[in-house]
DNA sequence: ATTGACAATTGGTTGGACCAACCGATAACC
DNA sequence: GGTTATCGGTTGGTCCAACCAATTGTCAAT
């Protein structure tokens, strides 16, 4: 169940572990193409010296990259960079934005997958939702509507609507997928995009209300239509990133 | 680009690294519910002693679990098990089958997400495919049709059709998703299911042929219909797992 | 030209030591 | 009595130095 969070005006102090910082730099290097698919990373001992960390820490970083599917490690041979298509979906946020650059094509690609996906999820949600989840939706609606709250807190409620809808499907896979997507929307590039656009979370309020009303009135068709409009609204935020970027580049 | 592989009559000797074996056992323990969400794993030093490995190796295993989103590690505190909904999609194959048990509900859940997803992918594929990819599809078709080849090799070609279709969309995210799915279909539980069912890879041949013919005749509608039928056929293999299991339990 | 043994390279594992964050218990304080 | 400050034990994070094991290329023997 999605529970509302505290307003998030401040950011955590980002106290990262050593190997995280190393893994991050290597990850960006691969995503940048500084190491191409098929090429080998330098030997662990060499990299450790370059990063000025112990080989143990360097190895833990490599382990992370391996988990992300970015490299394949073989004893005796080194760490080979794998094609990006083989990588885990967890790297998507970083494909979209790293080292200060945004890949507009990647943004479009993600949206093209996500939209039809969530449209289908909405269908299952209105079919299977349970009464308690309706109450939860109402609670989230109140947060989105509360203009006294911080903007980011209200956006968080919008993301949690997405998670709640996934809960309604009573399907663990949809739930996982929705949580991955919400995490993606919480990521730094998305935060930046919202900031640039100065969008108001309230724009999704009418669709939520229409959905609630339709569910009360037992009109699943209308509820589905409203829900899909809501989802399309979330998608627009993503797509607007491209517009915002062009605008910035033009000015 | 998907290229046909060598017949896979023999299996690789599965020479796993220490931390992989440890990570695997811990992962299954979590998926089993032997450690519940919110609970803490035993301290590293303790676990290392229990597994009879060095603490370094144990730590690398924990690092893997962390990458899978199964635990959250905090210095001074321990490793806390996270809810499964927060886990990475990479754990799906293991949710479905681990320690010899198959979770039929998980199988159904996965299929419910995958089907509509790939139907949409097929739509984009017939819209955007390039001529060279048609040739690749023909090559794969020949492998599927070649009754002289090992059964598993022909199934591999079927999976590569899925990857090829994703390439046709010219969308990296679809490509990643299809590769993840193909890997899922290659996983051990799926292999077992195919074995139980004694299904023939040739059953998808007619749909591939109809798709090729329709594309040649410039009838995208028919090509799409055939492609979706092909995908539904792949999905049936998954759904049949449940039937096979019931049958086994009944006998 | 082929094969086989060897050696260099590179990842895998170990043991032990110390640092740093967390948290609960205890003590000091109001 | 209740609150706050402090401290110490527990636990993860990092480092070091050494050795094991797989891979690959080299080179000699056939």
DSSP H helices, A146-219, are 151-168, 172-186, 188-197, 205-216
The residue ranges of DSSP E strands in chain B, in sequence order, are: 71-73, 79-81, 97-98, 101-102
Note whether A156 and A183 are within 8 A (CB): no
Note whether B61 and B22 are within 8 A (CB): yes
Q: What is the pTM of this model?
A: 0.79
pLDDT digits (tens, 9 = 90+) for A83-119: 998 999 888 878 877 777 777 788 788 888 888 889 9
Q: Which among A89, A117, A171 has the least Cβ separation from residue B176?
A: A89
The rounded average pLDDT for each run of 10 residues, N- to C-terminus, in chain B (251 residues) is 41 68 94 93 94 95 95 94 91 78 80 89 94 95 92 89 95 90 79 67 89 93 93 77 50 40
- Rg from Cα positions in chain B: 21
Note whether B58 and B23 are within 8 A (CB): no
Measured between beta carbons, which residues in chain B are less than 8 angstroms from residue A173?
A: 92, 106, 109-110, 112-113
Q: Which two tokens stand for residue B88?
A: 């990475």
Residue position matching structure tokens 């915002």 = A244
Give A175→chain B minimum CA distance, Å: 6
Measured between beta carbons, which residues in chain A are less than 8 angstroms from residue B75?
A: 17
Distance CA B53, CA B69 (A): 23
pLDDT digits (tens, 9 = 90+) for A121-174: 999 999 999 999 999 999 999 999 998 998 888 989 999 999 999 999 999 999
Q: Strand C: which positions are within 7 A of a protein CB?
A: 8-17, 20-23
Give B85→chain A minimum CA distance, Å: 5
Q: What percent of chain A is modeled with pLDDT above 70? A: 84
Q: Is B37 exposed, middle or buried (0-12, 13-18, 19+ CB in 10 A)?
A: middle
Distance CA B235, CA B46 (A): 44
Chain B residues whose C-beta is within 8 A of a chain A C-beta are: 17, 19, 56, 59-60, 63-64, 67-68, 75, 84-90, 92, 95, 105-106, 109-110, 112-113, 116-117, 120, 124, 171-177, 179-180
Quick one: CA dihedral B182, B187, B193, B194, positive or negative? positive
């Amino acid at each position: 169940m999605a529970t509302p969070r505290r307003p998030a005006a401040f950011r955590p102090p980002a106290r990262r572990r050593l190997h995280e910082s190393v893994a991050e730099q290597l990850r960006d290097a691969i995503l940048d193409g500084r190491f191409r698919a098929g090429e080998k990373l330098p030997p662990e001992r060499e990299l450790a010296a370059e990063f000025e960390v112990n080989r143990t820490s360097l190895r833990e970083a490599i382990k992370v990259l391996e988990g992300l599917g970015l490299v394949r490690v073989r004893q005796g041979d080194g760490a080979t960079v794998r094609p990006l298509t083989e990588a885990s979906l967890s790297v998507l946020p970083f494909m979209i934005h790293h080292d200060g650059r945004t890949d507009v094509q990647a943004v479009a690609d993600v949206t093209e997958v996500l939209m039809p996906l969530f449209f289908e999820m909405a269908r299952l949600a209105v079919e299977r939702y349970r009464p308690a989840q309706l109450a939860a939706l109402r609670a989230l609606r109140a947060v989105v509507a509360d203009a006294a709250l911080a903007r980011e807190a209200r956006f968080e409620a919008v993301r949690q609507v997405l998670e709640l809808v996934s809960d309604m499907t009573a399907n663990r896979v949809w739930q996982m997928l929705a949580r991955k997507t919400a995490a993606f929307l919480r990521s730094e590039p998305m935060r930046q995009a919202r900031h640039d656009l100065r969008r108001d979370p309230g724009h999704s309020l009418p669709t939520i209300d229409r959905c609630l009303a339709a569910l009360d009135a037992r009109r699943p068709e209308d509820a589905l239509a409203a829900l899909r409009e809501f989802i399309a609204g979330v998608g627009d935020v993503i797509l607007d990133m491209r517009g915002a970027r062009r605008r910035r580049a033009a000015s």
